[in-house]
């Protein structure tokens, strides 16, 4: 059974710092991996989607990488800003069921 | 403006009542999903529909029901059989090109 883990559960950094959020999954048979942002009391906003054949995707200050063989993905945020404060979730699309399995998220706080 | 709308934003239910949560999308996506989010847990799949007039149970379908009579609409009914319905409910749709998921703003259901 596919399981998705995100460590740490919470992270505080000073403004301007570059940071890395981690996502690991137990079964490398995935179709896609998607990173989301969630603000308190709101829905999820899609940030980046990496297909299984890709190694990374970039959007602005965000870069996500995928290493299927080791069951890992990272989300790199450059030059963090207070507006980046939110919970970041990763989800993998299981290639057997085509369902997305979600991690519990990393709650990020960027201090001004 | 393309997107997913959910209503109401907040919903209060008395014990023994059925309530229906609305989800509408104008993204022309075939697939739609209902998730439940509880504090400290990842999103859990309740029901999903790949096409009009067809839907499947997810991991926690007991006490819930759905219908999919129109492509744009996927309402979720929380029945009195659901023993612990207080949660944040998220609706999503998925594009068929990349299987990317897009989410609505959510409905917070509280049982009084």
Average pLDDT over all residues of chain B: 94
**B60 and chain A in contact, CB less than 8 A:** no
In angstroms, rounded to a whole number, what is the distance separating the alpha carbons of residues A49 and A73?
11
The pLDDT score that the predictor gives to residue B43 is 95
Query: What are B58-63's contacts with CB under 8 Å, separation 24+?
Result: B58/A99, B58/B33, B58/B34, B60/B36
- Tell me the average pLDDT across A39-52: 96
Nearest-by-CA chain B residue for A9? B40
In angstroms, rounded to a whole number, what is the distance separating the alpha carbons of residues A26 and B90?
25
pLDDT band for B1, please (50, 70, 90 cuts): low
Cβ <8 Å between A49 and B100? yes
3-state secondary structure of A4: strand
Per cent of chain B over pLDDT 90 is: 84
The pLDDT score that the predictor gives to residue A82 is 98
Chain A residues within 8 A of B45 when measuring between CB atoms: 99-100
Average pLDDT over all residues of chain A: 96
- Tell me the average pLDDT across B63-83: 96
């Amino acid at each position: 059974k596919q399981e998705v883990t995100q460590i740490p559960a919470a992270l505080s950094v000073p403004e301007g710092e570059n940071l890395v959020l981690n996502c690991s999954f137990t079964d490398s048979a995935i179709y896609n991996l998607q990173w989301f942002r969630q603000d308190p009391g709101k829905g999820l906003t899609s940030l980046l989607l990496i297909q299984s054949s890709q190694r990374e995707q970039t959007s602005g200050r965000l870069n996500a990488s995928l290493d299927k063989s080791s069951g890992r993905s990272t989300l790199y945020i450059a030059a963090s800003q207070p507006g980046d404060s939110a919970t970041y979730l990763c989800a993998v699309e299981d290639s057997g069921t085509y369902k997305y399995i979600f991690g519990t998220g990393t709650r990020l706080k960027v201090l001004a | 403006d393309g997107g997913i709308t959910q209503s109401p934003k907040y919903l209060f239910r008395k014990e023994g009542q059925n309530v229906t949560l609305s989800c509408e999308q104008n993204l022309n996506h075939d697939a739609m999903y209902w998730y439940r989010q509880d504090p400290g847990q990842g999103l859990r799949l309740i029901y999903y529909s790949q096409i009009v007039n067809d839907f499947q149970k997810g991991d926690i379908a007991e006490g819930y029901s759905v219908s999919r009579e129109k492509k744009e609409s996927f309402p979720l009914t929380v029945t009195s059989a659901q023993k612990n319905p207080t949660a944040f409910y998220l609706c999503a749709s998925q594009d068929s090109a990349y299987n990317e998921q897009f989410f609505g703003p959510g409905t917070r259901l509280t049982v009084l």
